[in-house]
Amino acid sequence: MRRLIVTACAVVTLSACAPPPPPSPEISAQYLAGKVTADAMYTHLQKLSDIGSREPGTPGFDAAVDYIAGVLRDKGFDVQTPEFEWLKTGDPGTPTLEVAGRRYPVDQGSPLTPTGPGGLSALSVRPAKPAGCTAADYRGAPSTTGALVIVDALGCSVVDKQNAAVAAGAAGLLVVATEGVPGLFPRGYYQDLKVPVAIIDRDVDAALRRTNAPVRLTLNGKAALARSRSVLAQTKTGATGNVVMAGAQLDSAPGSPGINDNGTGVAALLATATALGSSPTIANAVRFAFWGSETLGAAAKYLAGLGADQLDDIAVYLDAEMLGSPNAGFFTYDGDQSGPPNPEITSVPEGSAGVERTLAGYLNLAGVRPADMPLDRVSDYSPFLAAGIPAGGVTTGGLQKKTPVQARLWGGTAGRPFDPNTGGPRDGIDNVDHRALSLAGPAIAFAVGAYAASTDGPNGVPARDSRHRKP
C-alpha cells in the first residue's frame, strides 16, 4: 500500500502530496501595527527619495505612481490608476481693467476663458441685489445685455453668479472681493466659467462707481487642463458593502522631495497593505487610496464619480499625512469636536468621534498623549466629511508652531514649526523623525486593522442600511 501511495505521488503534481501551507497569521489591529515598523516604512521612503520631486505632470510623479502600483501588484492586489483633471497654469499675463483711461490690475478668475489680446470693452452694470446669484437679483436693474456685471463675493459660488449674469445677457463678470470667501470658488469651478471673469478690489470698484463710460477688461493669462493619476487597490476579501478606506496624497510640492509631506503617509499605507496582503481573513474589505494630489482635489473628484450606493459602501475613511515631522507633535483629527471649532466645519459625520478615540487610544498605549487637530476643508479627508462619511487620521504637524505646553508634553522646541521644511527643498529623508514615524505610522495601521475586523461597538460607524451619503 505504501508503494502505491508513492507511485500516486509521482503521477500527480508534487503540490497534491505536499503538506498544507501554514495558516496565515491572524489579521488583527495589533498584528498590523506591529508589522508597520520604521524599517518597513523607510524602505519606501528611500525609494521615494531616489525618485525625487513628485510634482504632478513630471516624470517623478509618474515614477511614484508606477512604484506604488508595482508594490501593490506584487502583493496580489488588483490596482487601478484612475485619472483626474487639474488646472495647469502657464504665463499669468497682465490682467487689467481700464477705467476712465487708467489701468488697474485685476485677478483673472476665469483661467480657461481669457478675453483675447484686444480685451472686452463694455458698460459696467450692477444687478438690483449685489450678490447677483439668481435671476430675481436682476429684476429692476438696468439692461445688462453685452455688459460687464459687477457683483459682490457673497451668497453663492462664482459659477452661480456667472450663470445668473449670462442669463441676463452679460458678456462678462467682475467680482468684488478683498479676501478669501468660503464657497466662492468650489473645486473645479474654472471648468464651468464660460465668459471672462475678473476679481477686483475696493479701489477698482470705487473707480467703476465714478464712471458711466465703457470700460475695457483684458484677461491674458494662460492655462490648460492636464490629467494625472491616483492609485487605488482593494482587498479581494471582506465585505464590499462595508469598505474601510485609508488614503494619503502621493505628490510633492514643486521642487520639494516631499518625504515627510507626504512620503511618510504613502510609506505607512504601503507598509500596511504589504502586511495585510490582498486576500486576508477580514470582515470588511480595505481600500487603499494614494491620491494624485491634495491641492488639486483628486479625492473630491474620485468621490464625485461614485454613485450614492458606492458612497454608502464606504464605512470610514482614515487619512495619513505628515507622520515624521522633525519637531513632532502627535495629533488626531478632531472628530468629536472637543477642541476649538473651525467655523468652516458645520457638521461632522457620526462615527468620526469613534475614529478619533481609536487612534488616540493606540497612541496613548504607545506612550504619547495626542492632542486635537482641527478639521479643515482642504485636506484629502474633507470631501469624505462633506459626503457624510466618518473620517479621521493622524499627523505630526506642519508649519504650525509648537507651543510651550506642547514642548513639555512631547519634547522638541517651542516656538518653532512642527516641520519647517514642509513644501521646501529640505523636506528630505534625513529630516524625518524616526521616533515620530515609528509611532504615527503604526497608529494608522492599527485603525485599519480595527475597522477591517469590525465597524460595530462604541468606536464604530453607522450600519450600512442607515447610511444616506451625499454624492
Last residue of a domain, one of 197, 221, 245: 221
Q: How far apart are CA 333 and CA 359, in angstroms?
A: 9
Residue 402 has a CB neighbour count (10 Å cut-off) of 22
Q: How far apart are CA 230 and CA 83, in angstroms?
A: 6
pLDDT confidence bin for 449, thresholds 50/70/90: very high
Three-state secondary structure of 310-323: HHHCEEEEEEECCC
Tell whether 313 and 335 lie within a shared domain: yes
Tell me what pLDDT residue 8 has.
30
Question: The domain spanning residue 325 has which CATH number?
Answer: 3.40.630.10
What's the N-to-C CA distance of the chain in angstroms? 67
Tell whether 196 and 295 lie within a shared domain: no
Residue 309 has a CB neighbour count (10 Å cut-off) of 10
pLDDT above 60: residue 25: no
Of all residues in the chain, the percent with pLDDT exceeding 70 is: 94
pLDDT above 60: residue 5: no
DSSP 3-state helix, strand, coil percentages of the chain (rounded to 5)? 35, 20, 45
Q: What is residue 285's three-state secondary structure?
A: strand
Tell whether 232 and 161 lie within a shared domain: no
Tell me what pLDDT residue 26 has.
65
Tell whether 65 and 145 lie within a shared domain: no
pLDDT above 80: residue 10: no
Tell whether 217 and 237 lie within a shared domain: no
pLDDT above 60: residue 18: no
pLDDT confidence bin for 428, thresholds 50/70/90: very high
Which one from 26, 55, 179, 294 is the annotated catalytic residue? 294
Confirm if 452 and 283 have CB atoms less than 8 A apart. Answer: yes
Confirm if 427 and 257 have CB atoms less than 8 A apart. Answer: yes
Q: How far apart are CA 302 and CA 298, in angstroms?
A: 6
Residue 429 lies in a domain: yes
How confident is the prediction for the chain on average, in pLDDT? 93
Question: How do beta strands 284-291 and 107-108 pair?
Answer: unpaired
Question: The domain spanning residue 165 has which CATH number?
Answer: 3.50.30.30
Tell me what pLDDT residue 188 has.
81
Q: How far apart are CA 391 and CA 32, in angstroms?
A: 20
Tell whether 47 and 119 lie within a shared domain: no
Domains in the chain: how many in total? 2
Residue 18 lies in a domain: no
Confirm if 334 and 376 have CB atoms less than 8 A apart. Answer: no
Model confidence pLDDT, tens digit, residues 97-123: 999 999 999 999 999 999 988 999 999
Q: What is residue 99's three-state secondary structure?
A: strand
Q: Kindly state the average pLDDT of the residues 10-28.
A: 46
Tell whether 204 and 321 lie within a shared domain: no
Tell whether 396 and 444 lie within a shared domain: yes
Tell me what pLDDT residue 117 has.
86
Of all residues in the chain, the percent with pLDDT exceeding 90 is: 86
Residue 3 lies in a domain: no
Residue 19 lies in a domain: no
C-alpha torsion 192→249→67→310, nearest 10? -70
Last residue of a domain, one of 221, 248, 276: 221
Tell me what pLDDT residue 377 has.
87
Tell me what pLDDT residue 143 has.
95
**Domain range enclosing 108:** 96-221
Residue 2 lies in a domain: no
Residue 4 lies in a domain: no
Out of 222-226, 356-360, 400-404, 457-461, least confident range: 222-226
Is residue 294 flagged as an active site residue? yes
**DSSP symbols for 25-94:** PP--HHHHHHHS-HHHHHHHHHHHHHH----TTSHHHHHHHHHHHHHHHHTT-EEE--EEEEEEE-----
Tell whether 391 and 322 lie within a shared domain: yes
Tell whether 348 and 461 lie within a shared domain: yes
Tell whether 104 and 64 lie within a shared domain: no
Q: Kindly state the average pLDDT of the residues 15-29.
A: 55
Tell me what pLDDT residue 116 has.
85
Question: How do beta strands 96-99 and 215-218 pair?
Answer: antiparallel
Tell me what pLDDT residue 341 has.
83
Model confidence pLDDT, tens digit, residues 152-188: 999 999 999 999 999 999 999 999 997 778 789 987 8
Tell whether 81 and 135 lie within a shared domain: no
**In residues, how long is the chain?**
471
Tell me what pLDDT residue 394 has.
98
Tell me what pLDDT residue 170 has.
97
Last residue of a domain, one of 221, 253, 287: 221
Residue 127 lies in a domain: yes
